[in-house]
């Protein structure tokens, strides 16, 4: 039997878990990730939340109020950032968190609905150490938390025509005391999106505001970037200029993997994420640098 509720949904996951396995080995990395997951579950329960499910290195939780969700998210970040979860001083672990307050359908200890998708999308927009949420969630925060959020960008959600404002919760005191003013996106658009370079199989493509604005990728011959593989869809993904940002939009069966050179990893399936910095794109699987399946990208302002 299902019931309808309004809840705060939180997704929290370990950033760069694949890299941890390379650094620590399988057993130590698995233990490190599990310690982080246990910490996130403990923080959830500490602030009145319910752990809905765990998925590898990710925890999905719900809370009755937006303040409860932010309290738990802050606790997760503080404990994992300050702790030594890997057991090695030179290997630090980070998490990213996304949150949205909205209407969900609760059924057999699971939740469904557009609000769940939005919360998950906030996580894909977050960087290591960040807590990202929506305007609707911010509107429900008490004065203490409301005073330490800032708008940092906009994102387009799959199935929605309008853009959604992104807000960062500044959970570290030094960040809160140096808050930036609200972004003027009109000025940001005037600055331009910069350039995005793609390198694959000895070829280079450049996207910019005054040149090529979109590129398609997949195994079909009509794509701009043609990569053959049994896990790659015919029309797998595309990269496009969205106002001031370059985003990669996955349309595939097996998803797209983005590995940034700063260690952050993003898995996109039937969704999109912004491309910043530099790194590798893998269609259908994680791609190793220098292999025929790897697409190298580099964004410059």
Structure tokens at 94: 């980070």
CATH code, 29: 3.30.70.1230
The answer to whether residues 26 and 138 belong to one domain is: yes
Q: Which SS3 state, helix, strand or coil, does residue 38 take?
A: helix
Which of 151, 183, 215 is the last residue in one of the domains?
Answer: 183
Residues 33 and 173 in one domain: yes
Statement to judge: residues 223 and 87 lie in one domain: no
Task: Based on the fold, state whether residues 37 and 174 are members of the same structural domain.
Answer: yes
Which candidate, 182, 292, 186, places its Cα nearest to that of 232? 292
Q: Residues 158, 44: one domain?
A: yes
**Claim to verify: residue 193 and residue 245 sit in the same structural domain:** yes
pLDDT, position 248: 92
In the predicted model, residues of the chain with pLDDT beneath 70 are: 1, 157-162, 173-192
Give the model's pLDDT for residue 259.
Answer: 92
The pLDDT tens digits for 100-144 are 999 999 988 899 998 999 999 899 888 888 999 999 999 999 988
Neighbours of 288 (CB within 10 A): 11
Residues 81 and 57 in one domain: yes
* pTM greater than 0.75 (yes/no): no
Helix 66-82 and helix 26-46: axis angle, to 10°? Answer: 140
- Same domain for 57 and 79: yes
> Which of 183, 211, 229 corresponds to the end of one domain?
183
Last-in-domain residue among 183, 198, 219: 183
Check whether residue 164 and residue 247 sit in a common domain: no
For residue 235, the domain's CATH number is 2.60.200.20
pLDDT averaged over the chain? 86
Q: How many domains does the chain have?
A: 2
Whether residue 143 sits in one domain with residue 32: yes
Domain co-membership, 200 together with 282: yes
For 248, the domain range is 189-300
Same domain, residue pair 72 and 153: yes
Per-residue pLDDT tens for 239-261?
998 877 899 988 888 889 999 99
């Amino acid at each position: 039997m299902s019931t309808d509720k309004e809840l705060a949904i939180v997704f929290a996951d370990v950033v760069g878990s694949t890299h941890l396995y390379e650094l620590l080995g399988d057993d130590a990395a698995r233990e490190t990730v599990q310690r982080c997951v246990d910490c996130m579950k403990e923080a959830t329960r500490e602030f009145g939340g319910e752990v809905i499910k765990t998925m590898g290195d990710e925890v999905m939780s719900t809370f009755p109020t937006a303040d409860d969700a932010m309290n738990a998210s802050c606790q997760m970040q503080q404990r994992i950032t300050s702790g030594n979860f890997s057991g090695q001083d030179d290997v630090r672990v980070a998490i990213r968190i996304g949150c949205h307050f909205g209407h969900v359908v609760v059924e057999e200890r699971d939740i469904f609905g557009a609000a769940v998708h939005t919360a998950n999308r906030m996580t894909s927009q977050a960087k290591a150490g960040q807590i990202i949420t929506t305007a609707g969630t911010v509107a429900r925060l008490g004065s203490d938390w409301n005073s330490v959020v800032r708008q940092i960008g906009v994102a387009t959600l799959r199935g929605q025509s309008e853009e959604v404002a992104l807000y960062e919760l500044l959970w570290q005191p030094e960040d809160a005391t140096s808050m930036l003013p609200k972004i003027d996106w009109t000025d940001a658009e005037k600055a331009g999106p910069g350039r995005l370079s793609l390198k694959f199989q000895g070829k280079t493509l450049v996207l910019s505001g005054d040149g090529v604005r979109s590129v398609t990728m997949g195994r079909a011959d009509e794509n701009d970037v043609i990569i053959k593989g049994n896990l790659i869809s015919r029309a797998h993904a595309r990269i496009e200029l969205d106002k001031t940002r370059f985003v990669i939009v996955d349309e595939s069966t097996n998803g797209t993997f983005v590995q940034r050179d700063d260690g952050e990893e993003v898995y996109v399936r039937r969704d999109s994420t912004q491309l910043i910095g530099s790194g590798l794109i893998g269609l259908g699987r994680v791609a190793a640098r220098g292999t025929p399946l790897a697409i190298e990208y580099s964004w410059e302002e």
